[in-house]
Amino acid sequence: MPFNELYGSNAFGDSVMRDRLPKAIYKEIKAVQAGEAELTVEVAEVVANAMKDWAIEKGATHYTHWFQPMTGLTAEKHDSFISPTDDGRAILEFSGKELIQGEPDASSFPSGGLRATFEARGYTAWDVTSPAILNEEGSCKTLVIPTAFISYNGEALDKKTPLLRSMQAISAQAIRVLRALGNTNSRRVISSVGPEQEYFLVDEKYYASRQDLLFTGRTVFGALPPKGQELEDHYFGKIPERVAAFMTEVNEELWKIGIPAKTQHNEVAPNQFELAPIYGIANVATDQNHLVMQTLKKVARHHGLVCLLHEKPFRGVNGSGKHNNWSIGTDDGINLLNPGKTPGENLSFLLFVSAVIDAVDTYAPLLRLSAANAGNDHRLGANEAPPAIISIFLGEQLQDIFEGIATGRPVASSEGHKLELGANTLPKLPKDLTDRNRTSPFAFTGNKFEFRMVPSSDSISGPNFVLNTIVAEVLSGFASKLEGAKDITAAIKEIVTDTWKKHSKVVFNGNGYTEDWVKEAAKRGLPNLKSSVEAWPYFAKEDSVKIFTKHKVFTKEEIHARLDIVLEKYSKQINIEAGVAFEMATREILPACVDYAVEISGQLETLGASGVKSDSLKSRLSEIMSLVEEASAAAAKLDAARSAAKEVSDPLKQAESCRDSVFAAMEAVRAPIDRLEKLMPKDYWPMPSYEDLLFRI
């Protein structure tokens, strides 16, 4: 199928609605999507009928309300379009009520105490702004309707609802600022996101032979091969043929459902890759990123591969993140973070960037916790990802502009600069306003900010509802100052100056990977929340509760519930990893090592009977048995630490116990076992090695 026919062919998007809906209904739906009208049952009936006809024509038999509960995954319940009649036949029906609202059993989804287990009723509500799609699983085709998920009493039980609320919050406050600046045309401000997705691919046969990958998505044991990523030869290298075939199918599947997959390439670590789409509205981009992750996993199996989304599946090589490129713009096409040709004179741009600087510095713990999970604790601070310190990269020119305004000195313009490449056959390239800083967790990259700390396996909802809310809070204060100002230009310069003087400590343009920066950040008073367990409690601090409730993103009860949910999930995840490590050590690895030790003993006896001495063989046997004893003792301590952590009832204390005791005990088991792997013959080692997993596709 030609690309122009393939793209969006399985999406009930704008062009399909325009073709299939009466003009008046289409106009009404567009007004609902813009937040200018409420959806009526009458309009929903017409849309539902058109959506049903479209899906059935494409072979669908069922529909589902697709939502994002607090498990971190997605969920769906399928219902057929078939409705029996009194005469024993059946008709195909799909009503407006069924489109607008579903009722999945909510009792088994995490609620953090918002509801009792026996209270089963929950509701899904159609997200009108996110296109329905047709999902194909072999011969099964299902109409998938993106929805929010709430409890019987209206509390948010999902990741979409707070994101939608935060989008309203930032729009409301940004419009106040724009009105004060004299903009009377823009009606909404929209947060947009372009999430870059990193992932690993491993051969399915090796994956199936490792219990740790099956149950946790990461290797709890594994010695590095002689070569890793030292030569940096995988980064942007030629895509292997098998992977290229996989990527081609991924792109086709994504394009069919209207996901604008744009960029793909090899990443730094062996067998690591990246996919990036074009920007989209924040809630739609979040839905689409979930679909990207699902598609990567599904299509990998078609090629005898497995896609790993864990943040750190392999120790010693780079892990995976999700670069969250965030921006805000108006409904009539103004990017509020676009500096233009003369950023020093673009007061609106400087004002909105000031809001981001203030928000990121003031609410750094909230940004940090939005990127927190057990997997990311392995990654942040390594020589591949930002440290757990939140800082902003602006680039020299922008920093110079802000400092110039704050001090009252003139700033030279760099308009028109071009790069000389030293060869007549090469074109002169326009120089961007800023360089790119791969070591910064929060970098200005032209007309957006790139939040690089986001974990690869998680929803991008959390980072974006935090960004939207904290910037909305700062814009609220800016708007109040501007609305009462007699001289707007002077008021803007005063806000920019004040912001820079109070919050410039969060701006850092250097190498964020160095120990020098860690020390410098401490001098500046920037928080360094090294673990997820250390970061999450800030969510329920008084200041955090105040801004989330003020902007109606959460109720106080919803905040405390979510804190309990993430802490409980962390403890369960560490507990599963510890259980896997204990079983692999005691049931697979150590028995194999003992078997090999017995063989060596037999060889020594044979040699001794022949009068031959082998000190090297004796030394190997002694070292192996010493490591076996060390690993056995460590495994027993791991089992005890795991059991003790389970007995702790308080969610925070249990998570702390898992972090401090259980994880440390896992590391104590891993150390001798990784050394044993290097001593054992390959045919004795009971599982695929890092060499197999990282270099064999």
Half-sphere exposure of 434 (CA within 13 A, CB side): 27
The whole-number mean pLDDT for each consecutive block of 10 residues of the chain, a chain of 697 residues, reads 83 95 95 92 94 95 93 90 69 84 79 71 91 92 95 90 97 97 95 96 97 97 87 82 95 94 89 92 97 97 97 94 96 92 80 97 97 92 73 89 82 52 48 64 92 95 98 98 93 94 95 90 95 96 97 97 96 97 97 94 84 81 95 98 96 96 96 96 95 93
Task: Please give the Cα distance from 416 to 438 (Å, whole number).
Answer: 25
pLDDT for residue 59: 94
Count CB atoms within 10 A of the CB of residue 254. Answer: 21
Residue 297, burial from CB neighbour count under 10 angstroms (0-12, 13-18, 19+): middle
pLDDT for residue 432: 56
* 528 DSSP 8-state letter: B
Residue 421: CB partners within 8 Å, gap ≥ 6?
Answer: 427, 428, 429
343-362 pLDDT per residue, tens: 767 889 999 999 999 999 99
Third-level CATH fold of 3-157: Ubiquitin-like (UB roll) (3.10.20)
Task: Please give the Cα distance from 481 to 692 (Å, whole number).
Answer: 61
Q: Which is nearest to 390 in space by CA: 428, 356, 423, 361? A: 361
Task: Please give the Cα distance from 159 to 65 (Å, whole number).
Answer: 15
User: Are the C-beta atoms of residues 193 and 326 closer than 8 Å to each other?
Assistant: yes
pLDDT for residue 589: 97
pLDDT for residue 607: 82
* Residue 155, amino acid: E
pLDDT for residue 238: 87
Residue 345: CB partners within 8 Å, gap ≥ 6?
Answer: none
* 343 DSSP 8-state letter: G
**Which residues, in sequence order, are bridge partners of residue 418?**
430
b (16+ CB within 10 A) / e for 174-206: bbbbbebbeeeebebbbbbbbbbbbbbbbbeeb
Task: Please give the Cα distance from 49 to 134 (Å, whole number).
Answer: 15
321-334 pLDDT per residue, tens: 999 999 999 999 99
Q: Which residue has the tokens 């290097």?
A: 678
pLDDT for residue 235: 82
* In the chain, where the domains are located: 3-157, 166-415+426-554, 569-695
386-440 pLDDT per residue, tens: 679 999 999 888 888 888 888 887 666 555 455 444 455 445 545 555 556 678 8
Q: What angle (nearest 5°) sits at the alpha carbon of residue 38, between those of residues 36 and 42? A: 130
CATH code for residues 166-415+426-554: 3.30.590.10
Give Cα separations from 466 to 159, 280, 352, 532, 674 (angstroms). 12, 18, 16, 16, 40
**Which residues, in sequence order, are bridge partners of residue 189?**
330
The DSSP-derived string for 45-70 is HHHHHHHHHHHHHTT--EEEEEB-BT
Among the four given CATH numbers 2.60.40.10, 1.10.3470.10, 1.20.120.1560, 3.30.365.10, the one describing domain 569-695? 1.20.120.1560
Q: Which is nearest to 326 in space by CA: 154, 443, 474, 482? A: 443
Task: Please give the Cα distance from 336 to 447 (Å, whole number).
Answer: 8
Q: Which is nearest to 444 in space by CA: 343, 368, 529, 528? A: 343
4-33 pLDDT per residue, tens: 789 999 999 999 999 999 999 999 999 999
Task: Please give the Cα distance from 404 to 408 (Å, whole number).
Answer: 6
Residue 232: CB partners within 8 Å, gap ≥ 6?
Answer: 268
